Structure 1
């Protein structure tokens, strides 16, 4: 773990490129350090310096500064001078540098070389280098404004990590207008050395930070990201907005698994695996962040709604059901107590309607009663600005009622200027607010999700699978690679599956019609014959698959027919032969597959199989790394085919544990062999007792 304390809480800061010219970045950074009240020493550095910069003694070089320990250097000089100056910093013993300058890998060419050299300098001197091409860092608690942002944000407990400097500037400006406070704000830039993983790992131990938000355009160390996030998300919530698309998902179309995967499937699976919560818009990111920063996490899914507008209550109830939360059932005792304060024209059922003319004390008493109901985990208080609505009084009433419980409360003020004073009162009391009821419900869903994350078991179940023959699988895969194959033929894939204990229909390769006849007879009829070639992908289209072969003679004749059709369709391809496979009884058809993501490794797919797999698209993806029984249960349960497997309309239930075993062993196999790019088993026939994989495709 990198020690980044010097980036946030330094005792001294040197600004290389400091200036007295207001239009220069070096001026803005130095001015920001002074204005924010940084308590340590500030050293302006400029090779043309003569006297003072912004009233502080200036130095021509970092080497000229008499202070032996400079905790942090902020650099704003042309890119071509950066690396030489970094070496001077290294010789001076500086351990933390923020490089604001652009002109590196983002411009290509020489910039790429300069940035690579910068990374080597960081390693040589053991320096933490943030950037280049970044906005800088801010810490409201030190305080420190080592950036060229326009001003200092409010003090708070939200940390924001961003790969985009422009996005950071926009957020800071917006936050100041909306009263949102930050603990730390970190602009990463090109991430030559310090990454989002390093910063988030540090923030996990930061007492001033309660929730970590991030905007990322890419993640460079997938395995380390997963490992660190699994630890951090047990300590505090991490919510990330990820832009861009997974290249693996965009390019992989050679298997059913690849064609079913959306562009963002890998990040969704990875974030879920390690407990990171994903926002899909900047608005969502900060709605979630503010709620986590102000409220405790709810202990369950049951929500009470208090409203002065019936329509708003209905919308809220609809959204609660849509997102899998629960509109809480109120006890008769609670209803009886509510009737003391709510007129007969209102409603003591949830959503609780306090009527449009509700005074502040009706809100307060209703909220107090509801908060004491044991069946309620969180409360949404909603208001429309009627003519009789007293916003400030209601706001103060909510604050008073909140003192009686630590259950989360979110206030929905459906309006604008009418609520400005109330919003201020609630903000100061750490009660989050939204404008629309759907937002409030979505926020509570995310908070309830985090409660689940904290309780989740993240230990992999794959270490318990020891009855595999890795050497046998390796021999088959290595032989195929040595032969220049891009994929295994069916009989090879069967042998790999067999080595890993994956239940599959037996299949053997026949190179002559006599071998086909003997193999078919030994398997017992009926059998299936398939053309064997890694170059012929769509075997059925050319007549390369014949089912229900019933005799040795028929198998021999079919061998010759299939070879002839393959020659006609692909005259340039020499098949390996024809494969003979035991024809299995039909069962429920499911798909188990794997697509390898460049950053996160194997992504395991499960869903409905068969010929309509792409049409129906009933599939769920989970990360292979860290997969366990609970994750697989959720993966199966999230598909429609699971209802058939459980037994539908009187059908006997299928062997779901056998399906789980296939998923585990596919994950184990693809983690053990990184050279497997894609794996597709479609279909797997699932029976009342056991299952059998039929068509296994392994792409290298």
Structure 2
């Protein structure tokens, strides 16, 4: 994550073009013309074969340039580019757009990257369409023109898409703050651009055309950060690409690449759309309308048919038609003609003039049962569409001024000529409008989806149950024994032993070497009161036992069990003579009438690493295909979200006389598997199928685990292949304060919101003022969520917990810049803990963490009267200076030793 020198790409004062040409139609000539068209800065042409082009002086090489270019645009054959980059870096240039293609084919990529890295010179490309920044007039591309200036930024992995959008956007009147063709992304990638554009004040929304993600953890971290501050909307190509051709596990066969991308986008808070028109509609909606707090839509229309079309589409998208209150209906009855529709949609009749639109909107917007309003106008000879639009705008303005949280209003003005002036009025005021009711409803669906995803990012998960424990060490022993013998596929008993180490209930299983032992094991189970048993083949060469006749169920006596084992041996011997048969497993039949068969699985995605799957299980799992994917790590809230994406979840909640399954037990099983994925990178595939679930809980009847695909993590270290950095449990530590009091200092978790109310009550307002620079007694949920739901890839917070009272005693916090070079710190302790060494302990932990993360400098702002903090900073070696922008603050900085790799 680095945005170092990226600003040079977007706001250069001088540009050098390498490969400028006098040949019409060439890339060099096209880029030259584009640079001279609107760019107000200096442009230097570089081509050793020309002394001038079109009357403009041409320089032989970098050394002969009269100044240092802020930006280089390079369109020369690949073999020359590394040397050009080296020369530019030595001269002082820090940014380049490399349009040239062919580096990978000629084996020059590493040389290019190394030449740039030595000087922190940032490269867009190679093999890219170029870069366009309308606000500065910079067109460093071979596009056929410049887009309008606006507030949308476009990142594209296809130059052709940029060209098409550029052409379309001008006709549609859509403007851009930037258009960036990413090319091969040997340096600047999607994560870097998302970080830069998230902070760019000229950009209101970020649009992406995406073909692939190269660095999943970096992308997810940057995308989650950007999506919290402005809409991020994506089109991902290849939605129907064939996936998992050679998958051996159910999870692998069901986990298509596109489904994983969907899971990643949801987790990051990115809105996905399917076509270019939707991309801009979604951007208009999300960047201009307030967030909605629900999906209850009221429709006001002067044409009943148009209202019905809107309702049909709303239901298609899973929306809710608002149920208007009795008060609202009564008020509408007073205001509208007798023949109005008496419900929602509110049909105000075809002769409705502007006054009727205003009256209806005012009444409906005040209804607490309504979350958003759609206003539709059908052109008639009885009333002016333009006047109706003006009335609607007046109502929107009153709505925005009247309410602290104004409701979203969407408009659909039907027709062509009659609606042109109205649409222009809406556009001039920045309000999105649509040509059809169906399009308006689609826009509303984007608004509700985005709002739901944003709320999900801020929701506080439940705490894990008391005594939650996993035994990674025991699981590692089992895996090591299997891989040590040359196997990657664990036997069923081994797989169940791993599950048991992670607290997932499994059915008791006995290994039998031959049919006679099967009979003996069955007799023991039956003697203990079991009605019948199941016998399964035990072979690492057979992945799906049922498919090969390797499972026999409901065997009610020992002799039958032995006979089933003998028949199994004969059948498999004939079908798979090369299979190594190690014996059988015998287990009691679990009789849980009404239990649901589920599947929990883990698979390895080539881009996003380990993924977790949940859904309807059983032998028909790949036929039913009712599953959903999520990226680990999961908490209880994310586990529930995953469950709710499946159809089987509706059954799990209970229906008719069938009780609900123990949903919390299923959530906990998912969290335990997530923990397993984080702690055991050796596991690359896992199927628990079926996992029986009913009102009593869950139990795994069968399990399949493949290990050995990844290196075992050192003790205390977590899976490096996770796309989202997991909770860093290795930083949990008991600390003894100078007075002998023992406390726990650990990284913060989302569920730690519960501690803040008591912490604020026991902290003096003056202490809070010295930390936050404003006196507060209570923090709102949204604010606390931002404090507790952090991205461990770019921030850290340590909380001190009293093990006896289970209360938070203090907290220290670090937020790194995208370059991970500097980080702002903050620390506060409860008032009754001042003077006990807690602030010192929290600060030292923060410093150790910053050193481990190779952060070069810690900095903070301290109130000038906060003498205790300033004294601690002096003792820790901070430099203390006056904050230049605020006389009431001191700026403190600490340089940290960084070991270069």
Same fold (TM over 0.5): yes
In 1, the alpha carbon distance for the partners of 2:64 and 2:377 equals 63
Q: Which moved more, 1:431-440 or 1:235-244?
A: 431-440
- For residues 222-261 of structure 1, the aligned pairs below 5 Å read 222-244=216-238, 249-251=243-245, 253-261=247-255
Question: What are the superposed Cα offsets for residues 304-339 of structure 1, whole Å, 9 maximum, x if unpaired?
Answer: 212122111011122223323332233444445545
| TM-score normalised according to structure 2 size | 0.72
Q: 1:131: how far off?
A: 1.0
Figure out how many residues of one structure are paired with residues of the other and give that number.
691
Q: 1:503: how far off?
A: 0.9
In 2, the alpha carbon distance for the partners of 1:308 and 1:246 equals 41
In 1, the alpha carbon distance for the partners of 2:612 and 2:55 equals 61
Question: What are the superposed Cα offsets for residues 126-167 of structure 1, whole Å, 9 maximum, x if unpaired?
Answer: 221101121211223334222222222222111111011111
What secondary structure is seen at the aligned counterpart in 1 of 2:179?
Answer: strand
- For residues 262-281 of structure 1, the aligned pairs below 5 Å read 262-281=256-275
What secondary structure is seen at the aligned counterpart in 2 of 1:571?
Answer: coil
Contact 1:410 1:433 in 2 (8 A): yes
1:660 pairs with 2:676: no
Which of 679, 700, 705 aligns to 1:698? It is: 705
Question: What are the superposed Cα offsets for residues 241-280 of structure 1, whole Å, 9 maximum, x if unpaired?
Answer: 0112598943354233333344521111111111111111
1:73 pairs with 2:79: no
What secondary structure is seen at the aligned counterpart in 1 of 2:150?
Answer: strand
1:61 — aligned with what? 61
Which of 554, 558, 571 aligns to 2:577? It is: 571
Contact 1:342 1:348 in 2 (8 A): no
Contact 1:248 1:597 in 2 (8 A): no
CA gap of 1:336–1:549, structure 2 versus 1, over 3 A, is closer
Q: Which moved more, 1:358-367 or 1:179-188?
A: 358-367
1:91 — aligned with what? 90
1:687 pairs with 2:686: no
In 1, the alpha carbon distance for the partners of 2:510 and 2:461 equals 34
2:893 — aligned with what? none
| TM-score normalised according to structure 1 size | 0.92
1:103 — aligned with what? 102
- For residues 158-169 of structure 1, the aligned pairs below 5 Å read 158-169=152-163
In 1, the alpha carbon distance for the partners of 2:463 and 2:470 equals 11
Question: What are the superposed Cα offsets for residues 612-655 of structure 1, whole Å, 9 maximum, x if unpaired?
Answer: 33333322222223x22222222223334334333322233332
In 1, the alpha carbon distance for the partners of 2:565 and 2:324 equals 71
In 2, the alpha carbon distance for the partners of 1:145 and 1:122 equals 23
In 2, the alpha carbon distance for the partners of 1:327 and 1:561 equals 60
Q: 1:58: how far off?
A: 3.2
CA gap of 1:408–1:498, structure 2 versus 1, over 3 A, is same
Q: 1:433: how far off?
A: 1.6
1:49 pairs with 2:56: no
Contact 1:563 1:577 in 2 (8 A): no
In 2, the alpha carbon distance for the partners of 1:553 and 1:271 equals 55
Contact 2:83 2:115 in 1 (8 A): no
Q: 1:220: how far off?
A: 0.7
1:628 — aligned with what? 635
Contact 1:682 1:695 in 2 (8 A): yes
Question: What are the superposed Cα offsets for residues 652-697 of structure 1, whole Å, 9 maximum, x if unpaired?
Answer: 3332222222212222223333343321111112233222101111
1:402 pairs with 2:396: yes
Question: What are the superposed Cα offsets for residues 167-209 of structure 1, whole Å, 9 maximum, x if unpaired?
Answer: 1011011011011111111111121211112111111101111
Which of 603, 606, 611 aligns to 1:598? It is: 606
What secondary structure is seen at the aligned counterpart in 2 of 1:319?
Answer: helix
CA gap of 1:248–1:600, structure 2 versus 1, over 3 A, is farther
Q: Which moved more, 1:261-270 or 1:13-22?
A: 13-22
CA gap of 1:555–1:509, structure 2 versus 1, over 3 A, is same
RMSD: 2.7
1:207 — aligned with what? 201
1:446 — aligned with what? 446
Contact 2:413 2:422 in 1 (8 A): no
In 1, the alpha carbon distance for the partners of 2:657 and 2:577 equals 51
Where does structure 2 lack aligned partners over 5 or more consecutive residues?
401-406, 708-901
2:511 — aligned with what? 509
Q: Which moved more, 1:656-665 or 1:391-400?
A: 391-400
Q: 1:463: how far off?
A: 9.5
1:496 — aligned with what? 498
In 2, the alpha carbon distance for the partners of 1:440 and 1:279 equals 15
In 2, the alpha carbon distance for the partners of 1:135 and 1:177 equals 21
- For residues 156-555 of structure 1, the aligned pairs below 5 Å read 156-244=150-238, 249-251=243-245, 253-339=247-333, 342-347=336-341, 349-406=343-400, 407-457=407-457, 467-513=469-515, 515-523=517-525, 524=528, 525=530, 526-550=532-556, 555=561
Q: Which moved more, 1:361-370 or 1:196-205?
A: 361-370
Contact 2:257 2:605 in 1 (8 A): no
Q: 1:340: how far off?
A: 5.8
In 1, the alpha carbon distance for the partners of 2:540 and 2:569 equals 15
In 2, the alpha carbon distance for the partners of 1:440 and 1:250 equals 37
Contact 1:503 1:662 in 2 (8 A): no
In 2, the alpha carbon distance for the partners of 1:519 and 1:22 equals 86
In 2, the alpha carbon distance for the partners of 1:169 and 1:676 equals 44
Where does structure 1 lack aligned partners over 5 or more consecutive residues?
none
Q: 1:22: how far off?
A: 4.2
Which of 3, 6, 9 aligns to 2:11? It is: 9
Q: 1:299: how far off?
A: 3.0
1:115 — aligned with what? 109
2:30 — aligned with what? 28
